[in-house]
A and B are shown apart, each in its own frame.
Chain A
Amino acid sequence: MSTPAIHTEQSLITNEPYYEPVADEVAVFTAAYRNKLPVLLKGPTGCGKTRFVEYMAWRLERPMITVACHDDLTASDLIGRYLVRGGETVWVDGPLTSAVRNGSICYLDEVVEARKDTSVVIHPLCDDRRLLPIEKLGEVLAAPPEFCLVISYNPGYQSVLKDLKQSTRQRFVALEFNYPSVEVEQTIIEKESGIDTTGARQLVKFGHMTRNLKGSGLDEGASTRLLVNAAKLMHEGIAPVVATDTAVAQALTDDEDMLKAVHELSRSIF
């Protein structure tokens, strides 16, 4: 049995992804999209950035391509390269080029991790020219109005060697993401995992307790994603304290005292 490959043209999202709006981010994104402005999403991990882009892609009925950036990602990974196939050289589009050609939404996740030469590629796409020069083809692609570039990054504790330069960041409309409010977070956990209101409320309370510890030993408190994971385990019948230990505590830290503290905090509520 072969695993189905996802062709980029077919990456249109047909089912509404669940997303709980926090403020007016939907309106802002839509306005930016209509004005052909690129968007920057800032915030800690697990706060809904990727889910938001999926939701917007569905809403705007455009296909979406996600690129997880890492420190070996070069410009040619994004733009494309020549491959040798059956004795012939064949050009293959990279995800960015593909997105430009199809008028998709291209989401570069954790863009500061990528190599520096990628920003050379991003810049002309982000000003009002919206051009993608492809050196090897001798082509310059003009992005259609449906194309949209979205990048994300986590501003906390950035390495000084990897930072978003002013010349890059000033081309974007920026939306800030953070942990949702108590009610919203509760709703998200309920809907994503199927557990009852009480359980969701207790998990949110637990999440807040871990966020109290940020800076005094934990780099980050529990993100919404981690709480949802714990909820899913609980829904399967795993005991709450075991669920929080495995889905949250062990994911957050390796320090013994801290692990014990998080464990006891969970025990205090459930």
Chain B
Amino acid sequence: MSDESRQNFLNRLRIQKDLEKFTAGALARHGNVEDIVARIAALERRDQDFVYAWVELIARSNHELAAHFIGRVASAFDKMERSGVEDWVDQAMTTFDNRGLGFAIEALENVDEFAREYASRHVRCGFDDASGFLRHFVRGLGGRELRVISDQSTFTDTESLYLPDVVNLYPEPEQNFTVYKLTAVHLWAQTWYGTWRYQVVEQLIRQFDDEQPMAIFNRLECLRLEACIARDFPGLSREFRLYGSVGEAGDALWEEWRRRASRLAERDASAADSLALIEDFRELPLPPLRPFEGDMFAGRVRQALFARIEREKSAFQRAMQELRDKDDRGEGGGDDAQKQLVEVEMHDEAGAGGEDVNFQLTIDGEVTSIPEHMKDLMGSIMQDFGEIPDDHLEPLERGEYSDALLPQKGDVDGDDDPDFNDAGSFSYREWDCVRQRFREGFCTLRELSVPPGDEGFVAATLDKHRGLLKSIKRSFEAVLGESRLQRRQSDGDDIDLDALVEAFADVAQGREMSEYLYTRYRNQERNIAVMFMVDMSGSTLGWVNDAEREALVLLCEALEMLGDRYAIFGFSGRTNKRCEVYRIKDFDESYSSAVRQRISGIRPKAYTRMGVAIRHLGQLLQHTQARTKLLITLSDGRPEDYGGYKGKYGIEDTRHALLELKQGGIHSFCVTIDNEAQEYLPHMYGPANFAVIDEVEKLPYKVADIYRRLTT
């Protein structure tokens, strides 16, 4: 025997001995032991260690099972990567725990099937894998902010992209990922390049309400969008071509359609052109859809479209009104103001997309600059109409305008609620933007406590989010920062050479020598107090459910670490006579079990009268006398209360309250989950003082982020 083969032989002997020992002899009963051992000996050292570790572990439960493991593990390594093998044995152990030895052995023996399933799981691209990336990617491509949702069907309604749960058509994960991405891009292209223009949707629904025309329209649009993407995104276009084959016959059909619909490949082709061509294609066989192409549901589009058009039209008209008001030099207002000639010009280089469109707005011939949030709005309107329709440019009717500014209906004191008592309530004024003055003592506010909920909730949350909590704490640690070197101290660990040199120079000049000659490291003293204002209204978006309460718990844990003074109050109410703030944690309260119980006891209440809550909580913040005072609002939408507190009135009062606080040295910030926040938050809080998050889990991170920026 050569040296090497003797070495191998010894190895194998040793392994066989070890394994037989671990399995208390059960291995011997499996026959073909030499073969099995040889295969294990051929594994890499790391994998052998793995085998050893697991054998020991399994053997503690059952020797027979360990022997089966040894018998199949080499095959497992043949078919799968380490993580796959780990999954396989893990799953078998769980089966052993739950269902006993027999089933566990079966699980181990079914290595082949497991390997196949594992491969498919890791090769495919699932919604969870891609959605985070897709949200950013689609946002970057341009246009309105689209949601990404998984669904049975693949389509878009112009507000969201509905994508399949999984794509598993190819052997490589990269390929499946790319097709998933292309699917999203194709749907995005429909909204960007005008497939769902208002006029088109109207005609589709009116004229072509059954399946065949829709199917034709779908394919014609596929061709038109193909050409648009080829012009604007050469990289994507290459990928579309690469994955666009549907077999020889299918490809030939597509070629035929392409030839007949060559008009659609032109730069100025629009969805209307596709509509016009539908009749010509009725007799032709339909080419099969390509892997990244989905369905079309005109009805769903219509729903989303109409809702959005209404919303954006009034937002646009409101914004225009503000611009007009600014422009109006106070010359008698009224009818004169309404006759201003407003024109919107568009310089559209691309022809179809919204990105290259520059808007120019003139009022009575004078070019007016367009505020940022209006640009987004106009972009979105462009996508729907292909232009800014004339009726959008018409000034709001007298009636409509004052409707948005309805003075408070709350003058009527109709509250005969027996529970309501005036004692212990606070009185606050409200800003009336119509009359441009305060309504003194208009609001009555009470401070209530949140009733305690189940404390187990907090423990469960901390347990569930252990990992998350760790990384949140780390982000907050960054806020604390390192200790900083303080120079020119009267006492410290080191000499400040600069100061010393200057002192010598002073002495040489005949002056007194300074005593501030030392340096020391000190943690920067923080003198900060933060008030968290949580919207507890019952609105549909809503902060107050499990996920949000969990986020608050995590936030508190992290804040405790920082050592800053903080308080958490909820707010809601109904009309100006019943404004309420709910004490969850006061400044001087420690984060006790009472506080924890209150957090879990948070429940949705009524409406959102923000101005009075801000004024009251601002007062509490002032009392802390901290050097830096922060008010962070966790919001889910606009300020709205029963009785006329809404629209411009609500926004202006809230804004005024924030300005009053600012004059008192309180900095305000808002974190919201409302996607449409851009329309009103910059006006209330300032352009850089708010953040929109799309998942509540991100709340503690976002707050850490804000904290870090604002207080270091």
Contacts and interface: CB of A to CB of B under 8 A. Distances in A.
Contacts of B509: 82, 89
Interface string B696-712: 00000000000001111
Contacts of A197: none
A258 B356 CA distance: 24
B710 A159 contact: yes
Contacts of B505: 81-84, 89
B484 to A, nearest CB: 9
A269 B235 contact: yes
B502 interface: yes
Nearest to B669: A160
B32 to A, nearest CB: 46
Interface stretch (A57-65, A121-129, A209-217): A209-217
A209 B133 contact: no
B288 interface: no
B470 interface: no
A75 to B, nearest CB: 12
Contacts of A72: 487
A161 B694 CA distance: 29
A213 B141 CA distance: 9
Contacts of B235: 266-270
B136 interface: yes
B502 A216 contact: no
Given A159-B711, A160-B711, A267-B235, A215 B132 contact: no
A216 B711 contact: no
B362 to A, nearest CB: 18
Nearest to B507: A89
A173 B88 CA distance: 70
Contact of B139 (A159, A161, A213): A213
B692 A215 contact: yes
Interface in A204-231: 205, 208-210, 212-213, 215-217
A208 B355 contact: yes
Contact of B233 (A161, A215, A268): A268
Contact of B667 (A81, A160, A216): A160
Contacts of A264: 133, 137, 181
Interface size class of B (residues with CB under 8 A): 35 or more
A157 B712 CA distance: 12
Given A82-B506, A155-B688, A261-B133, A216 B233 contact: no
A260 B133 contact: yes
A260 B180 CA distance: 14
A262 interface: yes
A2 B139 CA distance: 52
Contact of B709 (A81, A88, A159): A159
A83 B711 CA distance: 36
Given A217-B136, A258-B136, A82 B141 contact: no
Interface in A233-264: 257-258, 260-262, 264
B136 A268 contact: no
A257 B630 CA distance: 31
Contact of B133 (A159, A210, A257, A267): A257
Given A261-B136, A269-B235, A209 B142 contact: yes
Nearest to B145: A216
A13 interface: no
Q: Chain B contact residues: over half helix, strand or loop, or mixed?
A: helix
A257 B502 CA distance: 52
Contact of B140 (A82, A160, A265): A265
A98 B224 CA distance: 65
B439 to A, nearest CB: 30
Nearest to B691: A215
B628 interface: yes
Contacts of B506: 82
B371 interface: no
A86 interface: no
Contacts of B709: 157, 159
B346 interface: no
B57 interface: no
B236 interface: yes
A209 B141 CA distance: 6
A267 B139 CA distance: 15
Contacts of B137: 260-261, 264-265
B516 interface: no
B501 interface: yes
Interface in B203-260: 233-236
Contacts of A269: 233-235
Contacts of B234: 269-270
B504 interface: yes
A8 interface: no
A153 B281 CA distance: 61
A14 interface: no
Q: Which 5 A-B pairs have the closest CB atoms?
A: A82-B505, A261-B136, A257-B132, A89-B505, A209-B140
28 contacts: A81-B502, A82-B505, A82-B506, A82-B509, A83-B505, A84-B501, A84-B505, A88-B508, A157-B688, A158-B688, A159-B709, A160-B630, A208-B142, A208-B355, A209-B140, A209-B141, A212-B140, A213-B136, A215-B691, A216-B694, A217-B136, A257-B132, A257-B133, A260-B133, A261-B137, A264-B137, A268-B233, A269-B234
Given A89-B508, A161-B628, A216-B135, 14 more contacts: A89-B504, A89-B505, A160-B711, A161-B712, A216-B692, A216-B694, A257-B132, A260-B136, A265-B141, A266-B235, A269-B233, A269-B235, A270-B234, A270-B235
